[in-house]
Amino acid sequence: MLPNINHIKYGSKSIEYNLSFTTRKTLGIKVMPDGNVNVIAPIGADTIDINQRVKSKAYWILKQQAFFGLYKPNTPKRKFVNGETHLYLGRQYKLQIAKADIDSVKIYSGSIVISAKEITTTGQKSEFSPNKINLLAYQSASSASLSEAFTACTYGKSVDTKGNYTSEFNTFTTRISSHFENKAIADYNAKKYADALPSFEKAYEINGAKDTTSLSNCALVADRGAIYDKAKLYYQKMIDNKQGFGNTYSSLVNVYLMMKDTVGGMDMLKKGRVAYPNDINLVITETNYFLKTNNSKEALNNLNIALTAKPKDANLYLVRGNIYDNLANPKDAAGKDMEKPKDYNEKLKLAESDYQKAIELKPDYFDAMYNLGVLYNNHGVALNKIADKITDNAKYKEANDLATAEFSKALPVLEKALEVNPKDRNTMYALKQIYARMQLLDKLKAMNEKLKN
């Protein structure tokens, strides 16, 4: 995600900053060696509050920019056109842009050579997007040179016993860290998670434990890349730092489960629920575990908590409705129908209400429509079985009419579900049965033809 550009006024000064959002819980402000200000805020943070926070740090930002300005050459704004010169790792290169079948960046014979499928021209000069240049350049770059530079800086600081060059070494170290971060981000955007992880790890090593952003990035990239041993390590560090709150516990639980360590995952889940008893993500993670282990009672308790926090989450209503549905229509291990519970009608109404609420919140919710239609159909089948045992004609008709009413309720719901998902064969078969029961012969014929295709 590209950052948004914002600015604040501080006296006669205007401070421009790049704003991006992540899943972090706190706001971070960084002044880069080139003077750019990067602000990373939690998703959903109010921009007015962000501006106020940035403004409260304005004096520090200007001070950092002035410091970096002492070491920054007065380079004209880059236009990214053919023949322009660029600095890379302390050396000057000429930019060459050419159209090609594959996007690439390489350094060859004193030039930065960019090959791209899409370029624009202004007069006789080829142009290329600066953002795309940066991404391609960092993806193509080797981190070995950066590692050597960091080693040299570390050694230089160790022999500078009088601290004469401490400021310069700190500046260079910050620049190296930024390069590692940029390379990691470029690899991450290209979904090269295994390549991104070492660069984020190096940035974290350079910046130290205070760099919570690089730590969370290490955990995220390791998780996305299925490097679960590293993901577990970094998520645990985040928990030790009280970073990420309940989300970090949820992520770590999922890592344990991906590693097939259910015992470790459940132990971590319990710790997370103790540490953050009201965290909705942990509640939902625990609910999923209860559902997998058929612990309907605890799952319902958690869903009630979750719905109090997220009353407009259609999926939660669907899940709770499905639990009530299963409780009303229990099956044995072989999948055969068992005896209906004493509170069958009550459970049925609760399931119906939740399915209807899910559809109300999300009108094209196929799963909720299908489940509701099948609920009505199954209830109609149950009533039909009762009617078939009645010998009195009047009472039979009364019972049969109740069953037909349920099929009539199921019909429009399932037809709507088929409109949403026209290729779902389970819905087709359910409608076929209803058409046959209700003697809707034209629709039955059409459905039979559809099922042949």
42 neighbors 24 (Cβ within 8 angstroms): yes
Q: Kindly report which listed range (68-77, 181-190, 355-364) carries the lowest average pLDDT score.
A: 68-77
Q: For residues 357 and 403, state if they share a domain.
A: yes
CATH code where residue 196 lies: 1.25.40.10
Closest CA to 153 of 211, 219, 64, 90: 90
The confidence score (pLDDT) of residue 120 equals 59
With a cut of 90, say whether residue 317 has pLDDT above it.
yes
How many other C-beta atoms can be found within 10 angstroms of the C-beta atom of residue 324? 22
* pLDDT per residue as tens digits for the range 10-47: 877 888 888 877 766 788 898 887 788 988 887 767 77
Asked if the structure places residue 395 within a domain, the reply is yes
Q: For residues 428 and 339, state if they share a domain.
A: yes
With a cut of 70, say whether residue 80 has pLDDT above it.
no
With a cut of 90, say whether residue 154 has pLDDT above it.
no
Q: Looking at residues 371-387, what average pLDDT do you find?
A: 93
With a cut of 90, say whether residue 66 has pLDDT above it.
no
Asked if the structure places residue 296 within a domain, the reply is no
> Checking DSSP bridges between strand 4-10 and strand 28-31, what pairing results, if any?
unpaired
- Region of 89 please: left (phi>0), alpha (psi -120 to 50) or beta: left
Asked if the structure places residue 266 within a domain, the reply is no
CA distance between the termini of the chain: 43
Which DSSP category does 6 fall into?
A: E
Q: Looking at residues 379-393, what average pLDDT do you find?
A: 91
The confidence score (pLDDT) of residue 124 equals 46
Q: For residues 49 and 119, state if they share a domain.
A: no
173 neighbors 165 (Cβ within 8 angstroms): no
Asked if the structure places residue 433 within a domain, the reply is yes
Query: What residues have CB less than 8 Å from 202, skipping those under 6 apart?
Result: 143, 146, 147, 150, 177, 180
Q: For residues 43 and 102, state if they share a domain.
A: no
Is residue 327 helix, strand or coil? helix
The amino acid that residue 396 corresponds to is: Y
Please give the structure tokens belonging to residue 20: 């991006």
Distance, CA of 266 to CA of 271 (rounded, Å): 9
Distance, CA of 252 to CA of 256 (rounded, Å): 6
Task: Please indicate whether residue 144 or residue 374 has the higher confidence score (pLDDT).
Answer: 374
Q: Looking at residues 254-280, what average pLDDT do you find?
A: 89
Q: Looking at residues 442-447, what average pLDDT do you find?
A: 94
The amino acid that residue 432 corresponds to is: K
The confidence score (pLDDT) of residue 145 equals 78
Q: For residues 319 and 196, state if they share a domain.
A: no
Q: For residues 117 and 170, state if they share a domain.
A: no
Question: End of a domain among 220, 243, 266?
Answer: 243
Distance, CA of 237 to CA of 117 (rounded, Å): 43
The confidence score (pLDDT) of residue 34 equals 76
With a cut of 60, say whether residue 445 has pLDDT above it.
yes
Q: Looking at residues 180-208, what average pLDDT do you find?
A: 88
Task: Name the β-bridge partners of 86.
Answer: 93
Place 136 in a pLDDT band, splitting at 50, 70 and 90: low
10 neighbors 55 (Cβ within 8 angstroms): yes
Q: For residues 130 and 169, state if they share a domain.
A: no
Q: Looking at residues 52-57, what average pLDDT do you find?
A: 88
Q: For residues 89 and 60, state if they share a domain.
A: no
Distance, CA of 183 to CA of 200 (rounded, Å): 9
With a cut of 60, say whether residue 123 has pLDDT above it.
no
Average pLDDT, the chain: 84
Asked if the structure places residue 365 within a domain, the reply is yes
Please give the structure tokens belonging to residue 288: 């999923």
Place 70 in a pLDDT band, splitting at 50, 70 and 90: low
The confidence score (pLDDT) of residue 135 equals 57
Most confident of 189-193, 233-237, 307-311: 233-237
Q: For residues 33 and 94, state if they share a domain.
A: no
Residue 242 belongs to what H/E stretch?
A: none
Place 324 in a pLDDT band, splitting at 50, 70 and 90: very high
The confidence score (pLDDT) of residue 218 equals 93
Please give the structure tokens belonging to residue 12: 């006669």
Q: For residues 39 and 89, state if they share a domain.
A: no
Q: For residues 345 and 401, state if they share a domain.
A: yes
Q: What backbone phi and psi angles, to 5 degrees, belong to 126? A: -85, 140
253 neighbors 292 (Cβ within 8 angstroms): no
Q: For residues 448 and 316, state if they share a domain.
A: yes
The parent domain of residue 226 ranges over 162-243
Asked if the structure places residue 105 within a domain, the reply is yes
* pLDDT per residue as tens digits for the range 265-274: 999 999 999 9
Question: End of a domain among 15, 34, 69?
Answer: 69
Please give the structure tokens belonging to residue 423: 């290729």
Asked if the structure places residue 47 within a domain, the reply is yes
247 neighbors 253 (Cβ within 8 angstroms): no
Question: End of a domain among 190, 214, 243?
Answer: 243
Domain count, the chain: 4
With a cut of 80, say whether residue 447 has pLDDT above it.
yes
Q: What backbone phi and psi angles, to 5 degrees, belong to 244? A: 90, -10
